[in-house]
A = this chain, B = another copy of it.
Amino acid sequence: MKSAKVRVAVNGYGVIGKRVADAVSAQDDMELVGVADVVPDYRIRVAVERGYPVYASLPERSGELQAAGVPVAGTLQDLLAQVDVVVDCAPKRVAAANQAAYQAAGVKPIWQGGEKHELAGYSFVAQVNYEGALNRDSARVVSCNTTALSRISHALHGRGLARRVRAVLMRRATDPWESHRNGMINTATPETKVPSHQGPDAQTVIPGLDITTLAGAGPYNLSHLHFAMIETTRPVDVEELRAILLETPRVALVRAADGLEALNSVMELMRDLRRPRGDMWEVAVWEDALASDGREVYLTFQVHNEAIVIPENVDCIRALSGTEPDAARSIAKTDASLGITRHFLPSSRPPRVTPGQGTPAGSKGAEEPTAPR
């Protein structure tokens, strides 16, 4: 490394990039050297206000930024020359094209879920496979839905309790920033690709996982809603399920009984909690919707697509740079820096603190093949 602190660049200052930049700035073992983008709109102006050095992702468009009064510290190449890790948050098609530039600069890229698994060859969710990413040259932080499915599935699969996962995702139609352009009204759109991509993608994080996902999108932009049915290898009752979730990092229980009855009420709580941008980094699982029939367990949860992958990006930076060999310590450090919790409301029952939490037993049982039925 070029310094005691991991030197980080963020290329692409959009929905994910701007949040990664803020989260990196909040880490005492990282330095945000700069952010790079192309368009001089309100977003990059805020980056300037925050004192983030701004670089031009495309040298030929540097003039646009300057013309708009954005002080340009240099080109992407100049930025890459100063960092150890670059978090690529560029749009889908653009990202892969940056690979050559990163390789030339000898910088380790972290790709987002929009890119293919093969681009990095390693898909990352901190609590599942942090150690495997240690000192790698690159990694891919999977998408919001895949991150949530991986956290929840691993909580059971990692304990050898998940025989088969079935999940239905009702995705948000669009992101708030672009809701005036895209979006839908008074309808819902099913995905005709079955299984939807999230299931296979989760298998790039949890190889032994037997999972199938179906997906659709609804006319809202606040977050995604998941319904998961997890067949267990032995009966798991609601109390055990609840205990497992309380031991799972980045999962928080919410209760309709507390007035948290829908996606909007949970997001309103994030605003009331003074979360930056009203972000929810945790998977919110409805405690009063947890169920078990002895054969499988049922979970209903909310995924804030704009925010859930942010802590994963922070941990991935540590893993690639090798500054923290222990997953649990990196997760704890990231969580403390952002204020990630397992209980949003003090009125909620506190989690049972159990030794070795977040480090579930080996997934022996789950390796058994599922016979065709």
A residues neighboring B (CB under 8 Å): 163, 166, 168, 170, 184-195, 212, 214, 216, 218-222, 225, 227, 229, 231-233, 235, 256, 261-265, 286, 288-291, 293-296, 298, 300, 370, 372-373
Among B186, B212, B256, B261, point to the contact of A219 (Cβ < 8 A): B186
Bound CA–CA A262/B14 (angstroms):
29
Known: A187-B222, A214-B298. 4 other contacts (CB 8 A): A187-B220, A195-B293, A216-B225, A218-B218
> A293 near B225 (CB under 8 angstroms)?
no
Bound CA–CA A216/B372 (angstroms):
30
Among B186, B192, B256, B293, point to the contact of A212 (Cβ < 8 A): B293
Which of A225, A231, A232, A370 has the most chain B CB atoms inside 10 A of its CB?
Answer: A225
Among B184, B225, B232, B372, point to the contact of A188 (Cβ < 8 A): B225
Among B185, B192, B262, B300, point to the contact of A184 (Cβ < 8 A): B262
**Nearest CB in chain B: distance from A95 CB, A:** 27
With A170-B188, A262-B189, A264-B186 as known contacts, state yes or no: A291 contacts B229, CB within 8 Å: no
16 intermolecular pairs with C-beta atoms under 8 Å apart = A168-B214, A170-B216, A170-B218, A187-B263, A188-B263, A190-B289, A192-B289, A194-B289, A194-B298, A195-B293, A195-B298, A216-B225, A233-B373, A294-B372, A295-B372, A296-B373
Bound CA–CA A288/B193 (angstroms):
8
On chain B, the residues within 8 Å of A262 by CB distance are 184, 187-190
Bound CA–CA A219/B232 (angstroms):
33
Bound CA–CA A132/B70 (angstroms):
77
**Nearest CB in chain B: distance from A180 CB, A:** 13
With A166-B166, A192-B286, A300-B194 as known contacts, state yes or no: A232 contacts B187, CB within 8 Å: no
Among B222, B288, B373, point to the contact of A186 (Cβ < 8 A): B222
**Nearest CB in chain B: distance from A190 CB, A:** 4
Among B192, B214, B295, point to the contact of A373 (Cβ < 8 A): B295
